[in-house]
A = this chain, B = another copy of it.
Amino acid sequence: MRILFLGDVVGRTGRDVVMSRLPGLVSDWALDLVVVNGENAAGGFGITEAIYEDIRAAGADAVTLGNHSFDQREALVFIERTEALVRPANYPPGTPGRGAAMVETRKGERALVVNVMGRTFMDPMDDPFAAVDRVLDGIELGRVVDAVVVDFHAETTSEKQAFGYYCDGRASLVVGTHTHVPTADHRILPGGTAYLTDAGMCGSYDGVIGMDKEEPLRRFTRKIGAGRFEPATGPASLCGIAVETDPATGLARQVAAVRLGGGLSEARPTFWES
């Protein structure tokens, strides 16, 4: 199965690059499954139902979230009906929505998309390791499902790497999100799970984590803000990871970074482009 995961879409800048490029990638790369993190899609903070539908229409089979899941309060309502919208599984019991969604691919394969949130230097949630155990309990990769994609939304590299190893062999892909900067450590772990510490964001890198740099710089240097954070404009990059799984096992066979457009060095899954 050919899987593409795209990191946090930030504001209109990020949405535009997804809308304009994702449909072409779906066909060029013959993608089977596309997952996009949408926690910053609405002006940098949360997601609206219309934006969710737009990202789905552009080719996403599922949309994941993070600590900004419910910045747009309406998400508490519409998440109940948007079945491919996934919020972190380790929110308290009773939180609207779901922490994992079963998705049927274009070819009729079954993929489980999971979202979990880290807790080091983040709002303290319940144990993400125990949460992913509960989600994956009984969902044997290669038997019950053809693919498992885990978006681990977390701050630190240590928690993310530990989480990757913890899931190794049980997921097709564990990919980090939240820092908005793509890491270059994509690889296949010993148990067969593709791993990347952070997918980076879809948005403008001529800013501070996708936001116009003036206000963040003011806060860092003066310790007093003067306005709101606004998404940075300018040329945008699409960032994420491409994974090809073994149909028999659901584990990763090939993995490549994806970085297209904007000022970043380009990266593509050359194994799909020959």
Given contacts A95-B224, A165-B217, A184-B184, contact A157 B209 (CB under 8 A): yes
- Pick the most buried of A130, A155, A183: most chain B CB atoms within 10 A of its CB: A183
- Pick the most buried of A155, A198, A221, A222: most chain B CB atoms within 10 A of its CB: A221
Given contacts A124-B119, A165-B213, A217-B162, contact A223 B182 (CB under 8 A): no
Cα A35 to Cα B126 with chains together (Å): 29
Which residues 221-250 of A have a CB within 8 angstroms of B?
221-224, 226
Contact with B along A86-101 (1 / 0, CB 8 A): 0000011111000000
A123 within 8 A of B: yes
Given A95-B222, A156-B179, A184-B184, 16 new contacts (CB under 8 A): A92-B223, A95-B224, A124-B125, A126-B130, A158-B208, A158-B209, A158-B216, A161-B181, A161-B207, A161-B216, A162-B213, A165-B217, A184-B259, A184-B264, A186-B265, A257-B265
Q: Can you identify 14 A-B contacts, CB atoms within 8 angstroms?
A: A92-B221, A95-B222, A119-B124, A125-B223, A126-B127, A129-B220, A158-B216, A159-B220, A163-B220, A166-B220, A182-B185, A184-B259, A187-B205, A190-B206
Chain A residues close to B by CB (< 8 Å): 70, 73, 76, 91-95, 119-121, 123-127, 129-130, 155-159, 161-163, 165-166, 179-187, 190, 197-198, 200, 205-209, 213, 216-217, 220-224, 226, 257, 259, 263-265, 267
